Amino acid sequence: MKHSMFRNYLYKKEIYEEWTMGGEKSAKRAANRLLRKQRMEEEAEAARILQEKKDQKYMRAALKQAQKAASIGEVPIGCVIVYRDQIIGRGYNRRNTDKSTLSHAEITAIRKASKKLQDWRLEECTLYVTLEPCQMCAGAIVQARVERVVMGCMNLKAGCGGSVLNILEMQEFNHQVKVTRGVLEEECSKILSDFFKQLRLHNKVEKYMNN
């Protein structure tokens, strides 16, 4: 039985019971109460679907950043920060290009967003990143008081948003981040595996040419 059909059946049963026990007025009150409840559930569901669509839209923007990294031969990881439905910071991995361990996608996006808001605090901001953040970036996210993090795929061997550690949601710190995992997970994972496949092929060709 579909969830909504089952719910309607329960509602009717409850109204019928009210009728037999308390008469028509009582049944009407129960019906109104149940209608209100149903409307609230529908509104919550609509809000959830809208949020899901928004999350996918901004994750696509983060994937675009990841593509930029791939195009300069960097491991494709991308990030965007959203404030009141507007992207206020973008970043992609440039670790080798910049020769800097600080050039992770999230750090760049945080720096740009802070500059835009003229505040080191990124309250009310949502950070979208294609790969689960490392310990440095998860730490910076907590330090910046980012309200919510949405991640694409997980990084089982190095991630600090739930895999190795969960720095984002540690109760011991003064700030906890709301976390959503697995948004456009397949695309986020594929861009990485395609990159490494390409890299292996490139290395093989190089080795062959040198012999």
Catalytic site residues? 106
* Tokens at 161, concatenated: 């948003």
Q: Which residue is nearest to Zn ion (CB)?
A: 137
Out of 90, 94, 104, 112, the residue judged to bind Zn ion by CB under 5 A: 104
Q: Under a CB-based contact definition with an 8 Å cutoff, are residues 141 and 133 in contact?
A: yes
Binding to Zn ion by residue 137, rule CB under 5 A? yes
Stretch that binds Zn ion, among 17-25, 126-134, 158-166, 179-187 (CB under 5 A): 126-134
Out of 75, 131, 134, 191, the residue judged to bind Zn ion by CB under 5 A: 134
Residue 136: exposure state from Cβ atoms within 10 A (0-12, 13-18, ≥19)? middle
Q: CA 163, CA 15: separation in Å to the nearest integer? A: 48
Stretch that binds Zn ion, among 39-47, 132-140, 163-171, 187-195 (CB under 5 A): 132-140
Interaction residues for Zn ion, span 172-211 (CB under 5 A): none
In degrees, rounded to 5, the angle at the alpha carbon of residue 99 between the alpha carbons of residues 146 and 115 is 35
Stretch that binds Zn ion, among 13-21, 32-40, 57-65, 131-139 (CB under 5 A): 131-139
If the CB atoms of residues 30 and 127 are measured against Zn ion, the closer one turns out to be: 127
HSE (side-chain half, CA atoms, 13 Å) at 63: 18
Binding to Zn ion by residue 144, rule CB under 5 A? no
The four Cα atoms 4, 5, 8, 12 give a dihedral, to 10 degrees, of -170
Q: Under a CB-based contact definition with an 8 Å cutoff, are residues 173 and 145 in contact?
A: no
Binding to Zn ion by residue 90, rule CB under 5 A? no
Catalog residues that contact Zn ion under the rule CB under 5 A. Answer: 104, 134, 136-137
